[in-house]
Structure 1
Amino acid sequence: MTRRPSSRAFTLLELLVALAVLALVSMAVFTQGGNTTRQLHDLEQRTLARWVAENEVAKRQLARLVEPEPVRTGVSRDLVSYGDRAWRVVTDTESTDYPDLHRLEITVYAVEGGSEVGPVDILTTFLGEH
Structure 2
Amino acid sequence: MVADQPSQPTQPPLLEATSPAIAGLKTVPDLRQRRLIGVSAWALALGACGFVLGFVAMIRMIGEVPVWFKPAFITSGVLGLALIIGAFVTVQYHRLPWLLLGASTALLLVGVILLGSV
TM range (shorter): 0.3 to 0.5
Tell me the TM-score normalized by structure 2.
0.32
Which of these two proteins has the greater Rg computed from alpha carbons? 1
Higher relative contact order (CA 8 A, sep 6+): 2
Q: Which has the higher strand share?
A: 1
Q: Which has the higher helix share?
A: 2
